[in-house]
Amino acid sequence: MRVKRLSPAAFTPRRAAAVLAACVLTLTNTAGAFAQTAGSFRAELAVRADRPRGTINKNIYGHFAEHLGRLVYGGLWVGEGSNIPNTRGLRNDVLAALKRLNVPVLRWPGGCFADEYHWRDGVGPRGQRPRRPNASWGGVDTNAFGTHEFMDLCELLGAEPYVNGNLGSGTPQEMMEWIEYMTSDSDSTLANLRRQNGREKPWRVPYFAVGNESWGCGGEMRPEFYADEYRRYATFVKSHSGNQIQKLAVGSQSDYYEWTEVLMSRAAKQMDGLSLHYYTLPTGDWGKKGSATEFGERDWHATLVRTLRVEEFIEKHSAIMDKYDPQKKVGLMVDEWGTWYDPAPGRDTGALYQQNSLRDAVVAGINLNIFNNHSDRVRMANIAQVVNVLQAMVLTDGERMLLTPTYHVFEMYKVHQGATLIPVELTAPEYRLGQSSVPALQASASRDASGALHLSIVNLDPNRAAQVSMKVDGATPRNITGRVLTAQAVNAVNTFERPEAVRPAPFTNFKAEGGATTLSLPSKSVVVLELR
Ligand code: AHR
């Protein structure tokens, strides 16, 4: 996406009016409260259907399930004997909700947990599986949910499995044997053990990661050491029986560029993907991250400033990758991203359970637009995490379940999966607070196999609606439909008592004007349009 900032040189009478409206109608407010202003700003948007780029990898819409808090146990897995309706132990309500998202890929079993997980604990008769302390996140893991249960979940969802191996506390042999157990169709002892445990045919495992955050919870390694370890372990990650396994290396977090430089210079030939982790904290301070629901305009703005930084990280890591891999064979896998807040008072700090508000929906829309626009290098992204942990799709409480505002964004954006990226050019004012500013609008677009164009636009401004003059180059759409996600309050949430307080509504606020269409986007909203 190209965003043009309005500069004096670019002034036309119309743009001058836009800036004037922006200045007059927004009261600068650096304190907590939101500016109580109505009004709108103007913007221009060109959808460049005449300049299609590559494909948006469907895996950008991927998810992540770690043994953490109430994600696996309670959120996905309730066991066959549960009163909660389930399919072979997996709760039906969550399955049905996730199926509607077309989950393309699911990462498991961690996260930090991956580097303490030993796969043999989670296969064989459930009653005989060992109970192990979850050293990363607390509690005891019964291992009731293991390889077979995860693969069953993936098959029920139609998602591709992304298995994260244990480099931190496991051996290359253990890693190699797990892959053989899962994917070999031979008459080997491990393939036969899988059959004995109930699965005749091997599974497809297209993605396998060699460790997780090896610079941190995965072993506190230096990049040089990890690069050597990666090469050693990756040698034993084999493709069996026609399963083409992609090997993913641990990448950096945020701006740890030295890690990327060392990994790419020493191991690019041995990898298919390199990860990137980036979490959005309203304050940027891990000691006091900020509340999920109690925030003012300063936190809203700071959250958006911080989440937009992912674009800078993608661009700079990609530039390093380009030096060693100009043909872009190695994918950048943003396999952990999302908001991370302080736990609500009284909540278990290790469980990472948090509410999810309209602000999270806006964050999700922004990130997905950025990933779409960088899909030449970004081949996968996995929001953290799918149920009951961090920026979740669904929250559960016993037998109750709700869909979060972030869920709705994923559901609205699923049209981009596997579609052709269409560039967009935006001319929009800034949403400014104090000395800091972000673009007021942010967007991406695609064209699907049927020829329909899909445009997703986020209005980051919590106070002003946007009047967007849209034109489409290279196509003449005759029909526009769309949906909008917004709410009265910036911190509106869905609760078990009011599970549909934030949900998408039809978007009809547009009209044709000459060669252009004017869209009226509400403040703090996410809109997805289909143009045919
Ligand atoms: O998603 C929670 C944790 O965040 C993951 O386990 C870890 O990889 C990251 O630090």
Residue-wise pLDDT for 4-62, tens only, equals: 543 323 323 333 333 333 333 333 333 456 655 568 999 999 999 999 999 999 999 99
Beta-carbon contacts of 447 under 8 Å, excluding residues fewer than 6 positions away, are 49, 52, 419, 420, 422, 453, 454
Nearest CA to ligand 1 atom 1: 384
pLDDT tens by residue, 245-275: 999 999 999 999 999 999 999 999 999 999 9
User: Quick one: which atom of ligand 1 is closest to the CA of 136?
Assistant: 6
3-class SS of residue 458? strand
Token pair for residue 139?
A: 């509690």
**Percent of the chain residues topping a pLDDT of 70:** 93
pLDDT, residue 19, reads: 35
Q: How far is the CA of 130 from the centre of ligand 1 (A)?
A: 24
pLDDT, residue 346, reads: 85
* pLDDT at residue 104 greater than cutoff 50: yes
| Mutation probe of ligand 1 site: the residue of 277, 335, 354 with most atoms within 8 A of C-beta | 277
pLDDT tens by residue, 326-346: 999 999 999 999 999 999 888
pLDDT, residue 124, reads: 98
pLDDT tens by residue, 382-437: 999 999 999 999 999 999 999 999 999 999 999 999 999 999 999 999 999 999 99
Identify the burial level of 43 via C-beta atoms within 10 angstroms of its C-beta, where 0-12 means exposed, 13-18 middle and 19 or more buried.
buried
Question: What is the distance between the terminal CA atoms of the chain, rounded to a whole angstrom?
Answer: 21
- Residues near ligand 1 with C-beta < 6 Å? 66, 110-112, 212-213, 336, 384-385, 390
User: Quick one: which atom of ligand 1 is closest to the CA of 216?
Assistant: 10
Dist. CA 119–CA 175, nearest whole Å:
9
Helix (H) or strand (E) holding 530: strand 525-531
* pLDDT at residue 195 greater than cutoff 90: yes
Dist. CA 159–CA 151, nearest whole Å:
9
pLDDT, residue 27, reads: 31
Nearest CA to ligand 1 atom 7: 111
Inter-CA distances, 217 with 116, 169, 252, 374, Å:
10, 11, 13, 28
Is residue 510 within 8 Å of residue 45, measured between CB atoms? Answer: no
pLDDT, residue 32, reads: 58
Residue where the block lists tokens 């400033």:
305
* pLDDT at residue 81 greater than cutoff 70: yes
| Backbone dihedral angles phi then psi of residue 55, each to the nearest 5 degrees | -95, 140
Dist. CA 62–CA 224, nearest whole Å:
29
pLDDT tens by residue, 156-193: 999 999 999 999 999 999 999 999 999 999 999 999 99
pLDDT tens by residue, 278-333: 999 999 999 999 999 999 999 999 999 999 999 999 999 999 999 999 999 999 99
Q: How far is the CA of 111 from the centre of ligand 1 (A)?
A: 5
Is residue 355 within 8 Å of residue 402, measured between CB atoms? Answer: no
User: Quick one: which atom of ligand 1 is closest to the CA of 352?
Assistant: 2
User: Quick one: which atom of ligand 1 is closest to the CA of 336?
Assistant: 1
Q: Are strands 246-253 and 207-210 parallel, antiparallel or unpaired?
A: parallel
pLDDT, residue 38, reads: 62
Q: How far is the CA of 112 from the centre of ligand 1 (A)?
A: 6
pLDDT, residue 29, reads: 36
| Mutation probe of ligand 1 site: the residue of 67, 112, 280 with most atoms within 8 A of C-beta | 112
User: Quick one: which atom of ligand 1 is closest to the CA of 218?
Assistant: 8
Nearest CA to ligand 1 atom 8: 111
Is residue 368 within 8 Å of residue 406, measured between CB atoms? Answer: no
Dihedral of CA atoms 31, 35, 41, 44 in degrees, nearest 10, equals 40
Nearest CA to ligand 1 atom 9: 111
pLDDT tens by residue, 491-521: 999 999 999 999 999 999 999 877 789 999 9
Nearest CA to ligand 1 atom 2: 111
Nearest CA to ligand 1 atom 3: 111
Nearest CA to ligand 1 atom 4: 111
Q: How far is the CA of 509 from the centre of ligand 1 (A)?
A: 40
What number of CA atoms fall less than 13 Å from residue 360's CA on the CB side?
34
Nearest CA to ligand 1 atom 6: 111
Dist. CA 446–CA 357, nearest whole Å:
27
Identify the burial level of 379 via C-beta atoms within 10 angstroms of its C-beta, where 0-12 means exposed, 13-18 middle and 19 or more buried.
buried
Cα–chain center distance at 380: 9
pTM listed for this prediction: 0.94
Is residue 461 within 8 Å of residue 524, measured between CB atoms? Answer: yes
| Mutation probe of ligand 1 site: the residue of 116, 212, 213 with most atoms within 8 A of C-beta | 213
Is residue 168 within 8 Å of residue 218, measured between CB atoms? Answer: yes
Q: Which residue type is seen at 472?
A: V
Catalytic residue positions, numbered? 213, 336
Peptide bond into 429 cis (omega under 30): no
User: Quick one: which atom of ligand 1 is closest to the CA of 114?
Assistant: 6
| Mutation probe of ligand 1 site: the residue of 66, 167, 280 with most atoms within 8 A of C-beta | 66
